[in-house]
Structure 1
Amino acid sequence: MVSVWEKSSTARVVAPARPRKLAKVPFVELADGRLQGVVSSGSDIGRVYVSSISAGTYAFACSTNNNRPCGGARGTFCNHLRALVTEAVLQYGAERVARYLKVETAPEPDAAALLGTMTRTRPAQGDTSAAAPVFSRFLRHLAYLELPPTTAPLPEMQWFPTTRAAA
């Protein structure tokens, strides 16, 4: 039996595991084999950091949106990376984040358990080449927030396939 959402041209949205505040980590995603996102600076309201942790190896990267390296990510996870993991657990749930990053933890992990397991492996500092595409996706998401509410189709979303049930 085909469900109603499979007949529509819209995608199902997975609700967050728990509500989260967007001020510190406005964008977080599990994509491209990494946990990645945008984290606000704690000291400068005009600066953000693009942070990522690779699945399996836990190689990490953290730099400003201008590709300047984070001063706190020297050999270990900085506060931006820690905030990213904490918010990802709120957004997706600890089990899903652990599964995606391939972190073996005790049953019912939390953000602290994930961070502890990953830092014990002494991950290496990774490549910051993913920062530009991640920041670009974040800006594209922000642009949708500036649009007035409407039920009319958006031209840039027309590429989504539509299916109609046979009459």
Structure 2
Amino acid sequence: MTSEGVVNERRSAASVIAQVRPRKLAKVPFVELAEGRLQGVVSSGSDVSRVYVSSITAGDHGLSCRTNNNRPCGGLSGAYPCNHIGALVDAAVAQYGPDRVARYLKVELPDGGENLRAGLHPTTAPDRAAEVFSSFLRHLAYLELPPSVEPLPELHWFPAGKAVS
């Protein structure tokens, strides 16, 4: 086993997987594959104080999109995706790559393999905005912590950079 392998074996964190290509954080500040959903927060194009909490469930491709103050998205119509869902998918593909997102959502990619949206067969999903927004706020709270090299017990599972010797 290499010395790097030994170091990694003793750590409680994994190396960060680099994003596939850069994405605009101002448009989609938060995107994750978690809780059986592709979920995230999408900025409003018309109001700087409003964001949309959007998600797609894995398997049945259930769509959900609501504002941060729990109002329904006017663009989401049953199983027809709104622009926020489209922006979320685009950000996820930029962050994780089309193959990884497709595997997670259980989507068959059409020929060419890049158009993930075309492989979705959406339905209406139960509202998960509160859970997704709570996860986003929890991630934001870590940005307010002072810089430290000491481990945070609640982040022992979180991917980390190179090991500190």
Q: Same fold (TM over 0.5)?
A: yes
Q: Which amino acid aligns with 2:16?
A: V
| TM-score for the superposition, normalised by structure 2 | 0.84
Task: Measure how far apart 1:74 and its partner are.
Answer: 0.9
Runs of 4+ residues deviating >4 angstroms: 155-160
State which of 9, 13, 24 in structure 2 corresponds to 1:10: 13
For 2:118, the equivalent position in structure 1 comes to 116
- How many residues are treated as equivalent by the alignment? 154
The question of whether the paired residues in 1 share the 8 Å contact of 2:12 and 2:157 is answered with: no
Q: State the distance in 1 between where 2:99 and 2:89 align.
A: 12
1:94: Cα distance to partner?
Answer: 0.4
Partner of 1:30, secondary structure, is strand
CA distance 1:68–1:152, shift in 2 (3 Å): same
CA-based RMSD of the aligned residues comes to 2.0
In the alignment, structure 1 segments of 5+ residues that lack a partner are: 161-167
Q: Percent identity?
A: 64
2:139 corresponds in structure 1 to: 141
Distance 2:12 2:86 in 1: 37
Please state whether the residue corresponding to 2:141 is helix, strand or coil.
helix
> Offset of 1:92 from its aligned partner?
0.3
Task: Report matched runs for 1:51-62 at 5 Å.
Answer: 51-62=54-65
CA distance in 2, matches of 1:159, 1:98: 24
Give how far 1:17 is off: 1.2
Which residue does the alignment assign to 2:100? 96
Change (3 A) 1:11 1:102: same
The Cα shift of 1:158 comes to 6.9
Deviation at 1:37, TM superposition (A): 0.6
- Are the structure 2 counterparts of residues 158 and 7 from structure 1 closer, same or farther at C-alpha, using a change threshold of 3 Å? closer
